[in-house]
């Protein structure tokens, strides 16, 4: 029986090994076949995966609509920028700044969640939307009388992440092989994205995750069962915000520049679309949604011009405008034919099909 059980496990182990190998060689294949531009897109995709997983805690697990999630991303980014740049003359190590940025975003999540605990649906969406805009406007105006954020000019010359004394912004030579900087960044982002994913899975399968699910399905019934809905919802805001703050710090280190323009309402909407498109509450689906909505617009951006040139002999529509049109049509098609998302939780799929 033991041998039979080991044989049954083998396919899963093989699949895991193949997945690890694929993730390890992916950046080299992308760099060789598509160039560094797409490798940079891949790095950004991992940032969006972390953002989407954080928002999924609030929207997917707890059922709370948050349209201002990008504010926590901004908090994490500015914490990193202020503590690792010439702006204040501080150059803290990344291992101190990233947890601090996540903690600061967590605090902002509590600040947002505490006064909105009684709100649901549209009312909660409006309040969270306003919160996101307030944070962005504060970042835009905190340059007088004391210059904290440098206002609309943003903060430049931010220190890149250093691991083992080596800056990820510089290539690294290992056994005579030069590993490009974007590949090093990919591995670092991938490791943190996997940690965020594992944390999300543990939360989903914990008592807290079951309490979130109960609140999402019927808050009154959850309260009647003895669940402290106030604290549980507050915890959802805090945990989701901390993941956003972590991603924000990584964004600042990657770009080496932050400004309020990077944290607009459209960014919040985009992250929400990733969660909804992939499948709310289903972590693999959310990851898929983040990857699709990061890569697809860039594919339209780079492909729209050459395709028009090949078909019509000239570019009739600006590729940027056509990109957004095709992107919007793709979203509408998915929502019409896959309302539960591209990869929904099986239980949610049954609910949508029954409707």
Burial class (CB in 10 A: 0-12, 13-18, 19+), 35: exposed
Element (H, E) at 177: strand 177-179
Res 76: pLDDT: 97
Helix (H, G, I), strand (E, B) or coil at 278: helix
pLDDT given for residue 32 in this prediction? 87
Q: What H or E segment, with its residue span, contains residue 172?
A: strand 172-174
Phi first, then psi: give them for residue 171, nearest 5 degrees.
-65, 155
pLDDT digits (tens, 9 = 90+) for 275-303: 999 999 999 999 999 999 999 888 888 88
Is it true that the peptide bond before 181 is cis, omega within 30 degrees of 0?
A: no
pLDDT at position 120 is 82
pLDDT category of residue 2 using cuts at 50, 70 and 90: very low
CB atoms under 10 Å from CB of 80, counted, come to 29
Please, what is the average pLDDT of the chain? 89
Asked if the model's pLDDT at residue 317 lies above 70, the reply is: yes
Residue 347: per-residue pLDDT: 67
Number of residues written out for the chain: 355
> Which residue in 241, 254, 250, 14 sits closest to 135, CA to CA?
241
Position 3 scores a pLDDT of 47
**Cα–Cα distance between 111 and 105 in angstroms, integer?**
10
Strands 177-179 and 90-91: unpaired
Closest by CA to 96, choosing from 109, 84, 107, 108, is 84
**Could you give the 3-state DSSP secondary structure of residue 143?**
coil
Q: Where are the domains of the chain?
A: 17-265
Q: Residue 10 has what pLDDT?
A: 57
Phi, psi angles (nearest 5°) of residue 177: -105, 130
Q: What pLDDT, on the 0 to 100 scale, is given for residue 260?
A: 95
In this prediction, residue 5 carries a pLDDT of 47
What are 51-105's pLDDT values in tens digits? 999 999 999 999 999 999 999 999 999 999 999 999 999 999 999 999 999 999 9
pLDDT digits (tens, 9 = 90+) for 119-170: 888 888 899 999 999 999 999 999 988 999 999 999 999 999 999 889 999 9
When pLDDT is cut at 50, 70 and 90, the band that residue 348 belongs to is low
pLDDT at 274: 93
Tokens at 276, concatenated: 């909804």
Least confident of 19-28, 135-144, 315-324, 342-351: 342-351
Q: Is 304 left (phi over 0), alpha (psi -120 to 50) or beta?
A: alpha
Burial of 63 (0-12, 13-18, 19+ CB in 10 A): buried
Given a cut of 80, is residue 354 above it in pLDDT?
no
User: According to the model, what pLDDT value does residue 239 have?
Assistant: 96
279: left (phi over 0), alpha (psi -120 to 50) or beta: left
CA distance 291 to 298: 11
Q: What is the pLDDT of residues 15-59, one digit of tens each?
A: 888 888 999 999 999 988 888 899 999 999 999 999 999 999 999
Q: Are 197 and 283 in contact (CB under 8 A)?
A: yes
pLDDT single digits (tens) 164-219: 889 999 999 888 888 999 999 999 999 999 999 999 999 999 999 999 999 999 99
With a cut of 50, say whether residue 1 has pLDDT above it. no
């Amino acid at each position: 029986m033991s041998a039979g059980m080991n044989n049954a496990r083998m396919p899963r182990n093989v699949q895991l090994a193949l997945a690890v190998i694929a993730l390890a060689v992916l950046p080299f294949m992308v760099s060789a076949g598509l160039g560094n531009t797409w490798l940079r897109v891949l790095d950004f995709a991992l940032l969006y995966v972390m953002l989407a997983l954080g928002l999924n805690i609030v929207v997917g697990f707890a059922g709370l609509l948050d349209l201002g999630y990008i504010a926590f991303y901004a908090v994490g980014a500015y914490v990193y920028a202020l503590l690792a740049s010439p702006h204040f003359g501080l150059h803290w190590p990344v291992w101190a700044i990233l947890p601090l940025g996540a903690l600061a975003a967590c605090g902002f999540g509590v600040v947002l969640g505490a006064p909105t605990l009684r709100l649901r649906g549209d009312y909660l969406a409006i309040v969270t939307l306003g919160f996101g805009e307030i944070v962005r406007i504060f970042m835009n105006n905190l340059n007088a009388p004391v210059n904290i954020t440098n206002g609309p000019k943003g903060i430049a010359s931010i220190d890149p992440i250093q691991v083992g004394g080596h800056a990820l912004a510089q290539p690294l030579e290992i056994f005579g092989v030069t590993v490009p900087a974007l590949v090093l960044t990919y591995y670092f982002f991938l490791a943190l994205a996997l940690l965020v994913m594992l944390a999300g899975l543990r939360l989903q399968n914990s008592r807290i995750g079951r309490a979130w699910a109960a609140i999402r399905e019927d808050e009154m019934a959850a309260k009647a069962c003895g669940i402290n809905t106030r604290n549980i919802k507050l915890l959802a805001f805090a945990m989701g915000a901390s993941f956003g703050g972590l991603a924000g710090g990584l964004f600042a280190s990657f770009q080496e520049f932050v400004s309020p323009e990077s944290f607009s309402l459209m960014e919040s909407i985009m992250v929400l679309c990733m969660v909804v498109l992939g499948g709310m509450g289903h972590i693999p689906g959310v990851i898929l949604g983040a990857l699709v909505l990061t890569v697809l617009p860039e594919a339209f951006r780079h492909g729209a011009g050459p395709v028009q040139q090949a078909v019509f002999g000239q570019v009739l529509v600006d590729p940027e405008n056509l990109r957004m049109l095709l992107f919007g049509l793709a979203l509408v098609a998915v929502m019409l034919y896959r309302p539960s998302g591209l990869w929904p939780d099986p239980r949610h799929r049954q609910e949508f099909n029954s409707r």
